Amino acid sequence: MIIDSLLLQITLIGLLGVGSQWVAWRYRLPAIVVMSLAGLMAGPVLGLMNPSESYGDLYSPVISLAVAIILFEGSLNLDFKEVRGLGRPVFRIVTLGAFIAWILGSLAAHYIAGLSVAVSFVIGGLLIVTGPTVILPLLRQAKLKPRPAKILKWEGIIVDPIGALLAVFTFEIIVFLMGDPLAPSALVTFFLAAVFAVGIGYGLGKGVGYMFENGYVPEFLKSAFVFGAVIVCFTAADEIMHETGLLSVTAMGMTLANMRISSINDMRHFKENMSLLLISAIFVMLTASLTRDTLVEIFQPEIIAFVLIMLFVVRPLSIFISTIGTDLNNSEKLLVGWIAPRGIVALTVASYFAGALSDAGFEDAEILVSLTFALVFTTVVAHGFSMRWLSKKLDLSQEGPPGVLIVGGNPFTTKLASTLKSLDVPVVVVDSSWRKLTSARSEGVKTFHGEMLSEQTDYSIDMTPYDYLVTATEMDSYNALICTTFVPEFGRNNTFQLNLSDQRGDNLEGLNHTISGRILFRKDVTWEPLNDMVENGYVLRKTTITEKYTYGDYLNNLDDQAVQLFVKKKATGMLYFFTEYGELAPETGDIVVSLTPPSKEFEKIQEKLETKRKNKQQG
């Protein structure tokens, strides 16, 4: 029974979308898969809602605008600096690779799925898309190495509008071949509209950037201003020629990304949150709008065969052929040749062309929605669940224990990093002073010489292996600034800084908690005491909690001068740092690390030596 209240439907869509994202995060599942299943259950399975019918004429414009915002947010990440060294393979994949995929996909649609030549070439052009709505969530979960991750990201964002335009172009060619007297002028209009769309995007991007740089837009209005400009950009182009709006917003986003305006960077995480919410809602709406007949039609043998050919023949061949002569190795080609999940753009544009082609007299076009959804759902499931496994097998994954990025080279951070390394925890120490990194390098700890807040450092350090940020320089204000900058990337619960010192004149006791990291260790432990302890012989001691030696026993034996640092969980490998607020409760098998006075450690060593001596005598 369909829910009558539109307000209740909207609420349910929001709950299902955000709830799916949480379930996916909690159980480490591909979010797109969970959202699709949630939409199917609410729509064709249980019949609770059908957004396409309930929202009527508003349904398509809402979906289109949401896709435009998502694509714009994705294109804001397309800084040309990021693709240095990968320009050739990326260019070949989005041009030659896309062309090969179009031709092979069209032939598969004709000879395998049984579609007419005209309909086959339209759907073949559309199905070259992957898109940020599906590839970016998978990349966040898979922890790929930088090269394949960047290639998949750039391909997904750039090919999205190209696929839609290719489908439009093919449709115009079909109309021309059918003898429409207006077709030649329509073809010219198409090409001019595509060029005009790029011009609108570039012009608006430059205009918005100029206004931001010269202070013509107040800070509180910038996010709203950008979103308004995106909607204008998309609508202006799309009203002239259908689907050119996607090309226009992509051009606008890339223009702003390469102007490197600080205001745009400040808003990026807000736009990412908006994009995440829109992706969640749209996937639920699209899958909930499918009919049971569409789901039944998916299981036709010709559709199943077409999907398998697209997965195992068309995609791998297009990547391997297009990347001949590039510096991609076979493992990278194999991974990129397998990963190509289709998403929102394919579904929305397929429904448009199903109607347009049917009106033009192509009765077989009615199957396009079922065919597209079959490929979308299959690729999302297959690639979503296999991406992490395959990347590990090909040694292209950075999946492993959660790592720690430490800012500040000094005796304490050297010992901390060395201990983390001994526990097989990925760790790197960053400092702008080469001299301060000397001790860390001598201990064999990975270091990076550079300014943490520099844009160049952001491109040079691969943040993927690191889940925790620890700022431990001698300047409290600098620690707080770094934490504030990287909270959106690491999360507030995983961003830490040393306690504030009152000995250097910073006087930061009133520092707002929203512009600093979580305070580490005890209240009296600041930068000076920690480094004094290390220089006076204090050592980092690792203690494993067992059934016989409980955490209570450990606390009873802990020296009053010792400082508890962190706990490594046996079950998950997660790290939990001791902070000023909150208590930790280590369990059996967990490792507790503390900074212990040398006398206590000396006694432990003596006890071990004495035990060994007695055992030898008894033996």
Going by pLDDT thresholds of 50, 70 and 90, the confidence category of residue 28 is confident
Render 505-517 in DSSP notation, one character per residue.
S---TT--GGGS-
272 neighbors 70 (Cβ within 8 angstroms): no
Rounded-to-10 torsion of CA 30, 90, 463, 28: 10
Q: Could you tell me which residues come within 8 angstroms of residue 32 by beta carbon, excluding any fewer than 6 positions away?
A: 133, 134, 137, 138, 283, 341, 343, 380, 384
Reduce the DSSP state of residue 424 to 3 states and report it.
coil
User: How far is it, in rounded angstroms, from Cα 142 to Cα 336?
Assistant: 13
Grade residue 262 by pLDDT with cuts at 50, 70 and 90.
low
Give the per-residue pLDDT at 118. Answer: 86
Higher-pLDDT residue of 592, 618: 592
Residue 149: what pLDDT? Answer: 84
Model confidence at 100, pLDDT cuts 50, 70, 90, reads very high
Q: In whole angstroms, what is the distance from residue 565 CA to residue 128 CA?
A: 51
Query: Given a cut of 60, is residue 1 above it in pLDDT?
Result: yes
Phi and psi for 595 in degrees, rounded to 5?
-90, 110
Check whether 484 has a pLDDT greater than 60: yes
C-alpha 390/C-alpha 392 separation (Å) is: 5
State residue 184's pLDDT score: 65
Q: Which residue blocks in 112-219 are alpha helix, DSSP H?
A: 117-126, 132-142, 146-177, 183-213
Please state, rounded to an integer, the average pLDDT across all residues of the chain.
Answer: 81
Reply yes or no on whether the pLDDT at 171 is more than 50: yes
If one counts every other C-beta atom within 10 angstroms of the C-beta of residue 602, the result is 12
Residue 91 pLDDT more than 80?
A: yes
Please measure the distance between the N-terminal and C-terminal CA atoms of the chain and give it in whole angstroms.
Answer: 80
Residue 197 and residue 244 in contact, taking contact as beta carbons nearer than 8 Å: yes
Q: What is the pLDDT of residues 463-483, one digit of tens each?
A: 778 889 999 888 888 888 888
State the CB neighbour count (10 A cutoff) for residue 545.
21
- Res 308 pLDDT > 90: yes
Q: Rounded to whole angstroms, how far apart are CA atoms 347 and 343?
A: 7
35 pLDDT band, cuts 50/70/90, is confident
User: With 60 as the cut, is the pLDDT of residue 459 above it?
Assistant: no
List domains and CATH numbers for the chain: 6-47+60-393 (1.20.1530.20), 403-618 (3.40.50.720)
DSSP type of residue 547 = S
Q: pLDDT tens digit string along 214-233?
A: 888 887 788 888 888 989 99
CA of residue 617 relative to chain centroid, distance: 60
Residue 151's pLDDT band (boundaries 50, 70, 90)?
Answer: confident
- Residue 614: its pLDDT value, please? 64
pLDDT value, residue 505? 47
Instruction: Considering only residues 400 and 593, tell me which one the structure prediction assigns the higher pLDDT.
Output: 593
Q: What is the pLDDT of residue 480?
A: 85
What is the C-alpha separation between 220 and 470, in angstroms, rounded? 31
User: In the chain, pLDDT over 90 holds for what percent of residues?
Assistant: 11
179-198: average pLDDT: 73
Percent of residues, the chain, with pLDDT higher than 70? 86
Name the most confidently modeled range: 385-394, 455-464, 521-530: 385-394
- pLDDT band with cut points at 50, 70 and 90 for residue 603: low
Beta-ladder partners of 518: 496
User: Residue 104: which pLDDT band, with cuts at 50, 70 and 90?
Assistant: very high
| Mean pLDDT of the 532-547 span | 86
Convert 353-408 into a string of H (helix), E (strand) and C (coil).
Answer: HHHHHHHCCCHHHHHHHHHHHHHHHHHHHHHHHHHHHHHHHCCCECCCCCEEEEEC
**pLDDT over 80 (residue 443):** yes
CB atoms within 10 A of CB 280: 25
What per-residue confidence (pLDDT) applies to 449? Answer: 86
Give dist(CA 449, CA 434) in Å, integer: 6
Binning pLDDT at 50, 70 and 90, where does residue 618 land? low
The Cα-based distances of 333 to 207, 320, 326, 330, 338 in angstroms read 39, 6, 10, 5, 8
Which position has the higher pLDDT, 136 or 10? Answer: 10
| Dihedrals phi, psi of 590, to nearest 5 degrees | -70, 155
Please return the burial class of 583, using the count of CB atoms within 10 Å of its CB with bins 0-12, 13-18 and 19+: exposed
What is the mean predicted confidence (pLDDT) over 533-554? 85
pLDDT digits (tens, 9 = 90+) for 37-89: 898 889 888 888 888 888 888 888 888 888 788 778 777 766 666 666 667 88
**SS3 of residue 187 by DSSP:** helix
